[in-house]
Amino acid sequence: MSATLSPAIAGELSIRSLHKEFGGVAAIKDLDLDIRAGEFLCLLGPSGCGKTTLLRMIAGFEEPTAGVIELGSTDLTRMPAHKRPVNTVFQAYALFPHMTVAENVAYGLKQSRTPKKEIGQRVDEALTMVRMREFADRSPGQLSGGQQQRVALARALVNRPKVLLLDEPMSALDRKLREEMQVELKLLQKRLGITFIFVTHDQEEALAMSDRIVVMYDGCIQQIGSAEEVYTRPANSFVAGFIGKQNFVEAVVVSDDGGALRLRSVNNTTILPEPNAAGDPGAAGRPVPSVGDTVRVAIRPETLRLRVAAGVPSAPNAVLGRIAGVSFLGDVVQYVLLIGEDTEILSRVPRSDAVPLPTDEDVLIEWDGVDVAVYCDEA
């Protein structure tokens, strides 16, 4: 059955120099993006970053100010929404309240004048697939949020779109249900092989589901990569800060020995980033700081090691701090550490590795140079 729902032609999208302005304000700035056939792509970014505008242009609800959107060899740019082989799962589902669940799902098929018998079969398949078959005669108002979402999914997928667009479809669900739906959606996508473009502002959701993540900010793409890439090798400090928990501290470049930087930060802490490590300046065309520059240093909370201090550290990549708070988060223990007067950083330690630490005296905070990322940009 999965074959019947699979698209005949792969949904390969190519977006060239796409530009969109609303009343003179640019929402999308000269954006290029290639979306591979059958991939699960997340557009991730804070609200107002242009991700929804991009999605709406792919769907055909907004006309680009300039640029081209192509599906395979078909130019979609000026094609009206109802002619595009693309379907959408809307944020608030947008189920037709005056139709039953079955009528909602059949709507798209009726538009393409599918024979009645086939409509019945395909609606049945689609509803069975999302396990809503027994709700076929209900009206959408009688369904819970999760059920409405699955109907919305069936309504879109029953048309066998080449690309399925999902506009923050999980935002109305509670956490537990959302996590279950993430798994379900991912499995469904793998099985159907349809290109999924998923818009979200929830980075955990993006990390959990995507083959690739497109991090957007201010109408531009900040980074494209797998979940691991954007997490471990953020292209800039925006991405570094947006994805996952992050500690940022300011530091001054003291010396540059052929790319091996020596930085000084709060409390005269010496930071030695390891060259060619994560977030290495110079990589991917990023600017290289010169001696005397102030830079932003990012260190993930889980890369910090804490132990009882035995005096002021002399080695680099270590600093003394005081534990200002401890929270138990289930699988990890999170410490809020105070360095000096007002520099707060986070440390996360797996519960099994957590050792009792004094809260009334300084602890030693250590990290490896390889986990240090240095950014010259302002974010």
Partner 1 sequence: MTSRFRKFLGDSALSFPTWAYMLFFFALPVALVMWYSFGFKPDQFTTHSMEQLSLGRYREVVSPTFLSVFTATLRISIVGTLACLVIAVPFAYWLAVKVPPGRRGLLLALVLVPFWTNFLVRTLGWQIILSPDGFVSEALQGIGLLGSPLDILYSRAAVQIGVIYNYLPLMILPLFVAMDSAGVQLREASADLGAGKWRTFFQVTLPLATPGVISGCLLVFIPLTGDYITASVLGGANGTMIGQLVANQFQNAQNWALGSAMAVVLMLFTLAVVVITALLALVVKAVIKYVGRVELPTGQHAGPDAGTAADLPEGSGVRQAEPAVSGTTTGGPHA
Partner 2 sequence: MPERIRRRSLTDTALWVWGAVVFVFLFLPIAVIVLYSFNNGRLLASFDELGVQAYVSGLQNDVIIASVMTSLKAATGTALLATVLGTFGGIALARATKGAKWPVLLTALLALTLVTPEVVDGIAMLPWFVTLGVDAGLTPFNNGLFRLVIAHTAFSTAIVTFIIRARMAGIDSSLEEAAEDLGATKWRSFRDVTLPLAGPGIFAGALMAFTLSLDNTILSSFVQQPGYTPWPVYIFSAVRVALRPEVAAISTAMLVLTLLALALVGLVLKRSGNSSSQIVKTMAGS
Our CA angle for 27, 61, 223, nearest 5°, is: 40
The interface mask with partner 1, positions 94-123, x = CB under 8 A, is xxxxx-x-xx-xxxx-xxx---x--xxx-x
Our CA angle for 100, 105, 108, nearest 5°, is: 125
29 binds partner 2 (CB under 8 A): no
Question: Which range in 44-52, 58-66, 301-309, 337-345 contacts partner 2 by CB under 8 A?
Answer: 58-66
For residue 40, list its beta bridge partners. Answer: 196
The interface mask with partner 1, positions 173-192, x = CB under 8 A, is ----x--xx-xx--xx----
Among partner 1, partner 2, none, the one that 65 touches (CB under a kind-dependent 5 to 8 A) is partner 2
At 112, list the tokens. Answer: 């393409």
308 binds partner 2 (CB under 8 A): no
Among partner 1, partner 2, none, the one that 59 touches (CB under a kind-dependent 5 to 8 A) is partner 1
**Residue 125 Cβ vs partner 1, minimum distance, rounded to whole Å:** 8
307 binds partner 2 (CB under 8 A): no
336 binds partner 1 (CB under 8 A): no
Compute the Cα dihedral for 307, 310, 314, 319 and give only its sign. Answer: positive
Listing DSSP states for 15-82 in one string gives EEEEEEEETTEEEEEEEEEEE-TT-EEEEE--TTSSHHHHHHHHHTSS--SEEEEEETTEE-TT--GG
Listing DSSP states for 286-338 in one string gives PPPP-TT-EEEEEE-GGG-EEEE--SS--SSSEEEEEEEEEEE-SSEEEEEEE
List interacting residues with partner 2 (CB under 8 A): 19, 63, 65-66, 78
List interacting residues with partner 1 (CB under 8 A): 1-2, 59-61, 80-83, 86-88, 90, 92-98, 100, 102-103, 105-108, 110-112, 116, 119-121, 123-125, 127-129, 131, 133-136, 138, 140-148, 155-156, 159, 172, 177, 180-181, 183-184, 187-188
